[in-house]
Amino acid sequence: MRTRELKERIRRRARQAQIPLSSELADALEGYYSLLAKWNARVNLTAFKLLPGGEDEAVDRLLLEPVAAAMHVPPHAETLLDAGSGGGSPAIPLKLAVPKLRLRMVEVKTRKAVFLREAARELNLTDTVVETSRFEELLSRPELHESTDLVSIRAVRIETKVLMSLQAFLRPGGQLFLFRGPAGTDVSDSVTPPLAWKATFPLVESLRSRLVVLEKYRIG
């Protein structure tokens, strides 16, 4: 009954947010949420309590916000690096919505990384890698430099140093997805070359959340 209640909540919240959601994607999102709720009872993966039947804000933030962002993934994008993956949102819902993406989740905390690997296995996420590391440490691997079409991060505030580290993973023409709440400006002094603001999209109205897209351009 709780699974049915959760699925219906996901579908209802998607309709209210005017986010298209196939039956297959709704089922996959329910599977991810249920797994996250099970693990969250013993490992602190998210601040949400994650009731078995779901709760509106958690569903909107953890599931629907990334699905809304997935509609803005460039058609040519094939690779996604998610920095500070935590409990797997936005990375896993993005992957579920755009299965062709080869996903690399980066999470420094061991127990969270263990969950991410288990989620990838349980949800049959192909072409998915979990790095137990800080994303800055991955810069020591030359094969990852300018290797990625898309980098995602959910953070309240991002400093210039962080953006400069993240852009090193992007190919020229690649995009950085910043998941933002209602506060703050889209572009600040922290955005410097070779990054430039490209667009800002509303995500979920109930959260007043936004997707700020930065693009890397080639210098010279």
Mean pLDDT value across the chain: 94
Residue 60's alpha-carbon distances to 34, 135, 143, 195, in angstroms, are: 15, 27, 36, 29
Round to whole Å and give the CA distance between 196 and 190.
10
Round to whole Å and give the CA distance between 216 and 76.
15
Alpha helices (H) in the chain, listed in sequence order: 2-16, 23-40, 56-58, 65-70, 91-97, 110-122, 160-167
Percent of the chain, pLDDT > 90? 86
- pLDDT tens profile 144-157: 999 999 999 997 67
Give residue 216's pLDDT: 98
* Sign of the Cα pseudo-torsion (78, 79, 85, 87, in order): positive
The pTM score is 0.95
Ramachandran sector of residue 146 (left: φ over 0; alpha: ψ -120 to 50; beta: rest): left
Give residue 157's pLDDT: 73
Residue 1: other Cβ atoms inside 10 A: 7
Tokens representing 178 are 């910043």
Q: What does the DSSP assignment read for 89-137?
A: TTHHHHHHHSTT-EEEEE--SHHHHHHHHHHHHHTT-SSEEEE-S-GGG
Tell the burial category of 49 from Cβ atoms under 10 Å away from its Cβ (0-12, 13-18, 19+). Answer: exposed
Residue 6: other Cβ atoms inside 10 A: 23
* 17 Cβ neighbours under 8 A, 6+ residues apart: 60, 64, 68, 204, 205, 206
* Sign of the Cα pseudo-torsion (5, 33, 162, 129, in order): negative
Name the amino acid, one letter, at 4: R
- pLDDT tens profile 38-69: 999 999 999 998 988 889 999 999 999 999 99
What is the rounded average pLDDT of the residues 160-186?
Answer: 92
Q: Delineate the domains of the chain, giving CATH numbers in brackets.
A: 64-216 (3.40.50.150)
- pLDDT tens profile 14-25: 999 999 999 999
Give residue 1's pLDDT: 41
Q: What does the DSSP assignment read for 69-83?
A: HHTTS-TT--EEEEE
